[in-house]
């Protein structure tokens, strides 16, 4: 149940924050939150991370991202039911990735682009703007990588002990 709750919370927070930005900002408007470090900036992204595929034809890009999003959710559900039910942290990682994927898929399906607004920078170094869904995906993948690393390390240790 926690798995589906986390997915729902991520999707709701993602869509609420995007709604707030769309209704409270003009496109490309930026509000300084922490000078020299963090702004809220309303932009849209027709591509994937870092604008990948942003220049592709709209119909092709939409079909591609829809298939990728649905496939990703299928894979996430498979791994959750196969492995995640027995490992809450693994299930959490999958749920964060799944919630983020759904949040961005909703944007792509309804608007043809994703709303981004979290804008971090230090001096002239600027990170591409992102959103709550992207953050959830990032944290979820991080959790899954740590778990995978720990499992591989444990398996290596077991093989050394067996020798």
Structure tokens, 102: 């759904």
> What is the pTM for the complete model shown?
0.86
Characterise 113 by phi-psi region: left (phi > 0), alpha (psi -120 to 50), beta (else): beta
Structure tokens, 140: 């979820």
Q: How many CB atoms lie within 10 A of CB 27?
A: 11
Check 14, 107, 116, 119 and give the catalytic one.
116
Query: Is residue 107 annotated as part of the catalytic site, yes or no?
Result: no
CA dihedral sign of residues 134, 49, 36, 28? negative
What are the tens digits of pLDDT across the range 103-162?
999 998 888 889 999 999 998 898 999 999 999 999 999 999 999 888 776 666 566 666
Query: Is residue 87 annotated as part of the catalytic site, yes or no?
Result: no
* Confidence category of residue 163, pLDDT binned at 50, 70, 90: low
Check 14, 107, 119, 134 and give the catalytic one.
134
**pLDDT score, position 14:** 98
- Alpha-carbon Rg for the chain, nearest whole angstrom, is 18
Q: Would you list the domain boundaries of the chain?
A: 2-158
């Amino acid at each position: 149940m926690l798995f589906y709750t986390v997915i729902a919370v991520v999707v709701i927070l993602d869509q609420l924050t995007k709604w707030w930005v769309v209704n409270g900002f003009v496109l490309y408007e930026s509000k300084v939150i922490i000078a020299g470090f963090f702004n809220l900036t309303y932009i849209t992204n027709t591509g994937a991370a870092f604008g990948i595929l942003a220049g592709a034809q709209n119909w092709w890009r939409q079909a591609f991202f829809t298939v990728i999003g649905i496939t990703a959710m299928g894979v996430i559900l498979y791994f959750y039911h196969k492995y995640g039910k027995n490992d809450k942290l693994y299930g959490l990682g999958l749920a964060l990735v799944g919630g983020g994927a759904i949040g961005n898929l909703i944007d792509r399906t309804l608007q043809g682009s994703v709303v981004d607004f979290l804008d971090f920078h230090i001096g002239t170094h600027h990170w591409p703007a992102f959103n709550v869904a992207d953050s959830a995906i990032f944290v979820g993948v991080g959790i899954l990588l740590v778990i995978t690393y720990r499992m591989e390390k444990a398996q290596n240790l077991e093989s050394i002990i067996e020798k």
